[in-house]
Amino acid sequence: MPYIPHTTDQVRRMLDVVGVDSMEALFENIPASMRPKSFDLPEGLSEDAVLNKLSAIADMNETGKASFLGAGFYDHFQPRAVRALVSRSEFYTAYTPYQAEASQGTLQAIFEFQTAICRLFEMDCANASAYDGGTAIFEACMMAIRKTKRSKIIIDEALSPIYRRMLDTMTSSLDIEAVIVPHANGTSDKAALAAAIDKDTAAVVVQNPNFFGVVEDFSDLAAVARENKALTIMSVYPVLASVLKTPGSMGADIVVGEGQSLGLPLSFGGPYLGLMTCTKALVRQLPGRIAGRTEDKQGRTGYVLTLQAREQHIRRAKATSNICSNQALCALMAHVQMCMLGPVGLRRQAVLSMELARYAQARLTAVHGVEMLNDAPYGNEFAITLPLPADKVVAALAQQGVAAGFPLGRYYKGLENALLVATTDKNTAEQIDRLAAGLKEAL
């Protein structure tokens, strides 16, 4: 069956009606430079032939590499039951499944997702998610600006450069002053961050572990921000939040994160999951959906959407955000993942990832010419310096079936020889040995 159903006779009759003698004449007003070079498409194929052709193209992807890529996105183990459960049709095919009278199950799942994220970060309130970690940071900055009525944002350069670029784009037309505080050889310069906070500062934005994998304690910085009536926004890696000092105990006001590591696969850029929490004092500034639990007149438990300061529910000028949706299925997947692992399993996943990172550090720094970028504490990710540009080394190891890491020179001038290496519970000692052997050969 052709995709264009018109017959030659029908096309001829159409051209007669409009008064032209050919398809070329019909489109003559379109400049030649703006036309496609050719409509000489190949003949159509049968469904089976199309499947075979696309499968052959897909097979060209190299998906079996040992991966040490991280930089904000991590390939953790996902129990098989997670995908099976979220693939149920009532979850998988639902569109805006939030009507309380019809979707108690979905609302309960959102409520429990929010509860789990609050406990993980040790924060008071969470929303039903945002698009991704970068979007959540932007929304957090806007919360701080609304709350403090100030417009200056202090940003740690050790915050993911991807997020910083997103912030640049999203705030480009807004009256916001963004001050970038340089990193100190891969660590967050907390003294400089504190010194930059003044009476005009709405918030200071940091990340833990930072983009270089360094684990930080921002308690003192949060105290300085509080003294200046500014807010502390912290982006965290949720898996490691299960073993590190929590952002809530450090005094963070708004905590965000990329939830991909909670059971979402790495798939060419998404979909991802923005985690977003805050203190109770800020809950009315929290954008997006928030599900709450209540009781009806008979004392029966019910779940409802509440505190939705969205333009669908209140006057547009009073809306806290133009977020009109969330990542419901991704949030459900993260919630099921956390339930399947439990607190012990999540911590075990984090600890195993960190143990493998230490094994990798020992093996890689044993290679002549390889050194740590700094001696700061790290989690499951660390930066090393090489005697050659890191992108060339990465390209060489890719030929050996190893994705060696993330070249930091891509975003940080002067660090062209630095490589960010990440491990997760899905890596093995054998893979790390291959990485070390390949690195030794490449150098």
* Residue 99: pLDDT over 70: no
Q: What is the pLDDT of residue 221?
A: 97
Same domain, 283 and 303: yes
Cα 28 to its chain centre, rounded Å, is: 47
| pLDDT band for position 90 (cuts 50, 70, 90) | confident
* Residue 114: pLDDT over 70: yes
Same domain, 372 and 236: no
DSSP result, 205-235: EEEES-TTSB----HHHHHHHHHTT-EEEEE
Question: At residue 414, what is the residue type?
Answer: G
28 domain residue, yes or no: no
CA nearest to 274, candidates 122, 120, 126, 70: 126
Q: What does each C-alpha distance from 427 to 110, 189, 280, 355, 423 come to in angstroms?
A: 31, 31, 39, 11, 6
Q: Which of 280, 308, 337 is the last residue of a domain?
A: 337
pLDDT in tens, 168-200: 999 999 999 999 999 999 999 999 999 999 999
Cα 305 to its chain centre, rounded Å, is: 25
134 domain residue, yes or no: yes
Q: Tokens representing 315?
A: 């006057």
Q: What is the pLDDT of residue 43?
A: 82
pLDDT in tens, 378-434: 999 999 999 999 999 999 999 999 999 999 999 999 999 999 999 999 999 999 999
Same domain, 310 and 247: yes
16 domain residue, yes or no: no
Helices 161-170 and 133-148 pack at an angle, to 10 degrees, of 50
Which of 36 and 127 is assigned the larger pLDDT? Answer: 127
3 domain residue, yes or no: no
Total structural domains in the chain? 2
The owner of tokens 């004392």 is: 299
Q: What is the pLDDT of residue 207?
A: 97
DSSP result, 53-104: HHHHHHTTS----EE---TT-------HHHHHHHTSHHHHS-SSTT-TTT-H
Q: What is the average per-residue pLDDT within 106-117?
A: 93
Question: At residue 7, what is the residue type?
Answer: T
178 domain residue, yes or no: yes
Q: Which of 337, 366, 390 is the last residue of a domain?
A: 337
Q: Which of 310, 337, 364 is the last residue of a domain?
A: 337
Provide the whole-model pTM. 0.86
55 domain residue, yes or no: no
The owner of tokens 């009759």 is: 13
Element (H, E) at 432: helix 429-442
Question: What gap in Å lies between CA 264 and CA 76, rounded to an integer?
Answer: 8
Q: Tell me the Cα Rg of the chain.
A: 26
Question: What gap in Å lies between CA 256 and CA 95, rounded to an integer?
Answer: 25
Question: What gap in Å lies between CA 238 and CA 271, rounded to an integer?
Answer: 17
Same domain, 89 and 224: yes
> Given 3-state DSSP classes, what are the helix, strand and coil percentages for the chain, each rounded to the nearest 5?
40, 15, 40
The proportion of the chain whose per-residue pLDDT surpasses 70, expressed as a percent, equals 93
155 three-state secondary structure? strand
Same domain, 321 and 362: no
* Residue 112: pLDDT over 60: yes
Task: Answer whether 340's CB lies under 8 Å from 82's CB.
Answer: yes
* Residue 100: pLDDT over 70: no
Q: What is the pLDDT of residue 84?
A: 92
pLDDT in tens, 264-283: 988 878 889 999 999 999 99
Same domain, 331 and 373: no
- Domain extent, residue 240, equals 80-337
What CATH code is carried by the domain that includes residue 310?
Answer: 3.40.640.10
| pLDDT band for position 135 (cuts 50, 70, 90) | very high
Q: What is the pLDDT of residue 104?
A: 85
Same domain, 102 and 155: yes
Same domain, 404 and 305: no
* Residue 317: pLDDT over 70: no
Same domain, 224 and 109: yes
Same domain, 298 and 367: no
Q: For residue 235, list its beta bridge partners.
A: 207, 256
Question: At residue 336, what is the residue type?
Answer: V
CA angle 320, 326, 328 (to 5 degrees): 150
97 domain residue, yes or no: yes
Question: At residue 362, what is the residue type?
Answer: A
| Residue 225 exposed, middle or buried by CB count within 10 Å (0-12, 13-18, 19+) | buried
49 domain residue, yes or no: no
What's the chain's average pLDDT?
91
Q: What is the pLDDT of residue 323?
A: 67
What CATH code is carried by the domain that includes residue 387?
Answer: 3.90.1150.10
Helices 328-365 and 104-121 pack at an angle, to 10 degrees, of 30
Q: For residue 385, list its beta bridge partners.
A: 371, 418
Same domain, 72 and 87: no
Same domain, 110 and 200: yes
Q: What is the pLDDT of residue 306?
A: 84
Question: What gap in Å lies between CA 236 and CA 159, rounded to an integer?
Answer: 10
